[in-house]
Amino acid sequence: MRKRKPTRAEIVRRRRAARRAASERLSRPLPPMTVRVEAGELSLARQPTGRARRRYQATLALPGARLRAPSLPRVRVTWRWFSLALVLGILYALYMLWASPMFYVNGVEVYGQERIRAEEIQRALDLDGWSIFWIVPEEVERNMLLAFREIESVSVSVSLPNRVTVTVRERQPVIMWQQEDGYTWIDANGIAFRPHGQADNLVTVFALSPPPAPPATGNPDTPAPFISPEMVQALLSLAPYVPDGMPILYDPAYGLGWDDPRGWRAILGSPDDVERKVHVYQALVDHLAQKGVQPSLINVAYPDAPFYRLER
């Protein structure tokens, strides 16, 4: 009798049955095992091995088996990492502040000048191309006062990214002091400085020699005065009595005076008590005019003992 060949469906059923039986055997719990260990062989310490552990990957054909993915090292972010990032960020910011052309000065703004040109102040400062972080306003102000005697006060301010502002106040001249072939301007504090442009209503003084130097000020940033403030006030008080168009004369030997266009020289001496000397001088001029006397010199340096001199 010929043996019947199994059909394709029977072969599939047999394979499924074999797989179920294998899966049941794998899931069945193992029986408890008992291990005998001699007393002398029991040791709790782990015996070191000379071989390093290795991890292998294998392909399993068992149903329901899972492969373990390779583990990556876990990076723990602590405050040290945050501090390092903060320091690096600060260093980068400082580098950008130092190296970026955005923070380099390209022109200085000047305000408050009247006669001095802004270009002259900018040229003297020479701050173009400087980093804004290099500029110390106090030093710039001190250098400005030393370079320009005609500036009475100055204020320097800096602001990001590259702005420098200079505000100045110029000295106001009240006297034009002429001596030999040159002249200078003098303000109400007696400080002489270079003339700039034109100034109106100045009292003109023609000096035969320099006046005695007054005591220096205690401020090193303030220039020493050329004449004393008291002498400035005396010249301003004397100016209205001087004939129009005539300068006030200064001679260290005789003091202040002027040449009267009527033909004589008036001498008032020191700048003290100017108003009294002027009144004595006017009274003496009127007295000589009534008598028809033409003097060549009238001296009221000592108002209690004035005198005049006739032409020889």
Asked if the model's pLDDT at residue 202 lies above 90, the reply is yes
Asked if the model's pLDDT at residue 187 lies above 50, the reply is yes
Asked if the model's pLDDT at residue 92 lies above 70, the reply is yes
- Asked whether residue 166 falls in the same domain as residue 197, the answer is no
- Asked whether residue 227 falls in the same domain as residue 144, the answer is no
Task: Give how many domains the chain has, as a whole number.
Answer: 2
pLDDT of residue 90: 84
Does 248 or 40 have the greater pLDDT score? 248
- Asked whether residue 181 falls in the same domain as residue 296, the answer is yes
Q: How far apart are CA 85 and CA 83, in angstroms?
A: 5
Mean pLDDT of the chain: 83
**Residues 278-288: b if buried by 16+ CB within 10 A, e if exposed:** bebbeebbeeb
Residue 291's CATH number: 3.40.50
- Asked whether residue 301 falls in the same domain as residue 231, the answer is yes
pLDDT of residue 42: 47
135, 164 Cβ separation under 8 angstroms: yes
Q: How far apart are CA 283 and CA 18, in angstroms?
A: 152
Last residue of a domain, one of 170, 193, 227: 170
- Asked whether residue 289 falls in the same domain as residue 199, the answer is yes
168, 151 Cβ separation under 8 angstroms: yes
15 is a domain residue? no
pLDDT of residue 44: 46
87 is a domain residue? no
Give, in order, the Cα–Cα distances in Å from 32 to each of 24, 25, 35, 282: 18, 16, 10, 144
Query: Residue 88: pLDDT band by 50, 70, 90 thresholds?
Result: confident
Asked if residue 212 has a cis previous peptide bond (ω within 30° of 0), the answer is no
- Asked whether residue 245 falls in the same domain as residue 271, the answer is yes
Does 93 or 63 have the greater pLDDT score? 93
Domain span holding position 218: 175-310
Range list of H helices, the chain? 8-27, 79-99, 118-125, 137-147, 229-238, 274-291
Q: Which two tokens stand for residue 127?
A: 């701050």
- Asked whether residue 210 falls in the same domain as residue 288, the answer is yes
Last residue of a domain, one of 122, 147, 170: 170
- Asked whether residue 241 falls in the same domain as residue 153, the answer is no
Please compute the mean of the pLDDT values over residues 208-215 and round it to a whole number: 86
208, 250 Cβ separation under 8 angstroms: yes
- Asked whether residue 185 falls in the same domain as residue 303, the answer is yes
Last residue of a domain, one of 170, 194, 225: 170
Q: How far apart are CA 74 and CA 2, in angstroms?
A: 69
Residue 125's CATH number: 3.10.20.310
- Asked whether residue 128 falls in the same domain as residue 217, the answer is no
Asked if the model's pLDDT at residue 102 lies above 50, the reply is yes
- Asked whether residue 115 falls in the same domain as residue 181, the answer is no
What are 223-249's pLDDT values in tens digits?
889 999 999 999 999 999 999 999 999
28, 68 Cβ separation under 8 angstroms: no
